[in-house]
Chain A
Amino acid sequence: MTETAATTVHHDERLVRKGFLTRLLTRPDIGAFLGALAVFFAFSYFARGVDWLTDPAIAAGWADQASQYGIVAVPVALLMIGGEFDLSAGVMIGSSGLLLGYLATHAHMNIWPAMALVLLFGLVVGFLNGITVIKTKLPSFIVTLATFFVLQGVNAAGTLKLTGTTAIQNIDSAAGFDSAHRFFASQLTQYDYPVKVLWWIGLTIVGAWLLAKTRFGNWTYSAGGDPNAARNVGVPVARTKITLFMMTSTTAALMGIIEALELRSMQSREGVGLEFIFIICAVVGGCLLTGGFGSVIGTFFGAAMLGMVQLGIVDSQWDSNWTYTFQGAILFAAVLLNTFVRSRVERAR
């Protein structure tokens, strides 16, 4: 009799626990979605000077900013789920844009083969990051921090030596610029939705599909969750991580191409600082700093949220320096939530 009662209670406990955890754990993107929604409605109150809720031009403004963050945040999120960081993802945007500018204006290449070379450059930098992390077993935080500073120096010194200034101008003088511009940097509608919003949405779909629906996605989870266990069952952990690094650097190179085509010139300090924004997007999207868990869809909403904050603060006519404070607060809240989620998983044994 006592035995039966105990068993019944045990079953009930399991069911309650499951319901709570399933909600939080199987959908880490829900928190980011609710957060983005909350920020959206908050600015409909604060940014009363503009028609925040319904003006498509306003939405185009923050969508532009959000895609600036969200495109590279997709592979950064995958990399974090795979247990690694890439602090060079921001500066890679500058390096790639400058390289494109150099090839177009000084080497006088057609823009299309120049873009192919820039993407190849992204693959190489990512491979070097990845192979260094794997071979030295150093934390990727340190390895990619080194890459970050090396590239930042190259960007500044190289640009100065080449042009005598801090920027490469006149990228639009290159052959093939117009067709490339249409594909990567044009406006979609009369409200000036940039075409990179489509790139953002497209890459998010590809990233989410990779993570959820492919063998590579399963390997990514395991490489971050428990690399030893993964290796024991035959997952090529090193190959998976190197691939993730290459995806990150190459996407940053794509972003550099988009910016160079949009702005028609490239500043040598372009992209510096964005590496942390990408990480904030991923963390808001439910990615754990320790790896093994996270969501690309959530990262999409994280980028949307940060884009809205950036534009919303301006539209509310606050000092735009407050943006940093908001970003910090959002990061902190997201990390707290993620840590709570994780501790639930670990405790519920």
Chain B
Amino acid sequence: MSTNGHLLEADHISKYYGNVVALNDISTHVNGGEVTCILGDNGAGKSSFIKILAGSHQPDEGRLLVDGEEVSFQSPRDARAKGIATVYQDLAMVPLMSIWRNFFLGAEPRKGFGPLRRFDSANAKKIVRKELNEMGIDIRDPDQPVGTLSGGERQSVAIARAVYFGARVLILDEPTSALGVKQAGVVLKYILQARDRGVAVIFITHNPHHAYPVGDRFVILNRGQSLGTFEKSGIDRQELVRLMAGGSELVELEHELEEIKAEL
């Protein structure tokens, strides 16, 4: 692989909307087999950041580098061509369609010639079963509509799809935020599965308890500013939670709670 750079690197990225500073001087990177977590509360700039990484927006300052080379994404298609796949919350899946139809939607494998060229559905079902199995996803029947899957299962199928179609970098937009504890755990497991297959994962979340167990690196955003990039060895869970919650604000809150307790 490349020796002269990270798989994906954001270098001093800034983004302005009019006179609002959405992102100010954000830098981070991710490599194959790693998970970089982007943490931040609502309005911290997480979605602006992933839109830049995914090619939907262009940064006003700073550079994006893929394999150490500067790139400029004009559209999500450009990002996809470089192997950067984004799994959005709405998932780009059609609820009324079966899992295998969804899995290959827009990239259907075909067989036969001329007017008899057709969707190779037997092969598609086989691949879906195999891919989901390899990710450790227990799907009972690839024929069932995606709408009958739980939120966690859908996220998992979307992740498996991105990995199958050759994603080198997988950007996950709050994949656990709408899920219950157990379902979130399932999705976290698939994030690790994707990582173990050599995919670079960028995991956006506002939940440090979801980020800490899977992340190798943590970028904490607050009001468009980076509060720092931390390697896992350099930070423990409590510190991460504290930073996420806005540091001093949380200390103050704890203080107040202590006082209330004392009064009782």
Q: Bound pair: A and B?
A: yes
Chain A residues, Cβ within 8 Å of B91: 229
The yes or no answer to A5 lying at the interface (CB within 8 A) is: no
- Asked if B147 is at the interface of the complex by the 8 Å CB criterion, the answer is yes
Known A-B contacts: A234-B106, A346-B95. Give 14 more (CB < 8 A): A17-B148, A26-B98, A209-B118, A214-B119, A215-B118, A218-B97, A218-B108, A221-B96, A222-B97, A225-B94, A229-B92, A292-B96, A293-B96, A348-B148
Assess whether B90 is in contact with A213, with CB atoms less than 8 Å apart: no
Q: Is the CB of B121 within 8 A of A215?
A: no
Cross-chain contact A221 with B97 (CB below 8 angstroms): yes
- B231 within 8 Å of A (CB atoms): no
Contact of A213 among B104, B119, B140, B151 (CB under 8 A): B119
Q: What residues of A have a CB within 8 angstroms of the CB of B140 in the complex?
A: 14-15, 18
B217 / chain A contacts, CB cutoff of 8 Å:
none
- Contact indicator A235/B105 (Cβ below 8 Å): yes
Q: Across the interface, do B148 and A349 meet the contact criterion of CB distance under 8 Å?
A: yes
A229 pairs with B96, CB closer than 8 A: no
The interface bits of chain B over 18-62 (1 if a CB of A lies within 8 angstroms of the residue's CB, else 0) are 000000000000000000000000000000000000000000000
Question: In chain B between 124 and 166, which residues have their CB closer than 8 angstroms to a CB of chain A?
Answer: 140-141, 143-145, 147-151
Q: Given the complex, which residues of B lie within 8 Å of A190, measured CB to CB?
A: none
A96 to B190, CA, bound (A): 57
- Interface positions of B from 96 to 130, Cβ below 8 Å from A: 96-98, 101, 104-108, 110, 117-119, 121
Residues of B within 8 A of A235 (CB): 105-106
B-contact 0/1 string along A214-246, CB 8 Å cutoff: 110111011001101110111100000000000
Q: Is the CB of B141 within 8 A of A345?
A: no
Q: Do A18 and B144 have beta carbons less than 8 Å apart?
A: yes
Partner of B95, one of A21, A22, A226: A226
Chain B contact-residue range equals 20 to 34
In the complex formed, the residue of B with least CB distance to A26 is: B143
Interface: B93 (CB within 8 A): yes
Shortest 6 CB-CB contacts between residues of A and residues of B: A234-B106, A225-B94, A233-B106, A232-B92, A215-B108, A292-B96
- The answer for the CA separation of A218 and B94 in the assembled complex, in Å, is 11
Point out the residues of chain A lying under 8 angstroms from B106, CB to CB. Answer: 222, 230, 233-235
A278-307: contact bitstring with B at CB < 8 Å (1 yes, 0 no)?
000000000010001100000000000000
A124 at interface, CB cutoff 8 A: no
Find out whether the CB atom of A214 lies under 8 angstroms from the CB atom of B118.
yes
Q: Is the CB of B94 within 8 A of A22?
A: no
Pick from B104, B141, B147, B151: contact of A218, CB below 8 A: B104
Pairs A–B under 8 Å by Cβ, sample size 21 = A18-B141, A18-B148, A21-B144, A22-B143, A22-B144, A209-B118, A213-B121, A215-B119, A218-B104, A218-B105, A221-B101, A225-B97, A232-B92, A233-B107, A292-B97, A345-B95, A345-B96, A345-B148, A346-B95, A346-B147, A349-B147
Residues of B contacting A342 in the complex (Cβ-Cβ under 8 angstroms): 96
By a CB distance below 8 angstroms, the chain A residues around B105 are 218-219, 222, 230, 233, 235
Q: Does B148 contact A21, Cβ atoms closer than 8 Å? A: yes
Nearest-neighbour CB distance to chain A for B229, whole angstroms, equals: 30
- Residues of A within 8 Å of B143, CB to CB, are 22, 26
A15 (CB) vs chain B CBs: closest residue: B140
Residue of chain B at shortest CB distance from A227: B94
Q: Residues 77-96 of chain A: 1 if any B CB is under 8 Å from the residue's CB, otherwise 0? A: 00000000000000000000
Chain A residue at minimum C-beta to C-beta distance from B149: A349
Interface status of A25 (Cβ within 8 A of chain B): yes
Q: Mark B57-91, 1 if CB is under 8 A from A, else 0.
A: 00000000000000000000000000000001011
Most buried by B among A14, A229, A235, A345: A229
Closest to A11 in B: B140
Q: Closest CB-CB distance, B116 to chain A, in whole Å?
A: 9
Instruction: Determine which of B90, B118, B119, B141 lies in contact with A22 in the assembled complex, contact meaning CB atoms within 8 Å.
Output: B141
Give chain B nearest CB distance to A250 CB in angstroms. 16
Neighbouring A residues of B151 by C-beta, 8 Å = 349
Q: How far is the CB of A340 from chain B (nearest CB, A)?
A: 14
Give the distance to chain A from B236, nearest Cβ to Cβ, in Å.
29
Residue interface bits A320-349, CB-to-B below 8 A is 1, else 0: 000000000000000000000010011011
Interface string of A141-162 (1 = CB under 8 A from B): 0000000000000000000000
Contact A222 B148 (CB under 8 A): no
Report how far A17 CA is from B92 CA in the complex, Å. Answer: 24
| Contact A218 B149, beta carbon cutoff 8 Å | no
Q: In whole angstroms, how far apart are the Cα atoms of A214 and B148 in the complex?
A: 24
Q: Which of A14, A212, A217, A230 contacts B94 (CB 8 A)?
A: A230
Bound CA span A221–B101, Å: 9
Query: Whole-angstrom distance between the alpha carbons of A288 and B140 in the complex?
Result: 26
User: How close is B93's CB to chain A, nearest CB, in angstroms?
Assistant: 6
Complex Cα–Cα for A228 and B89 (A) = 13
Smallest CB-CB separation from B120: which chain A residue? A213
Residues of B contacting A26 with CB < 8 Å? 98, 143
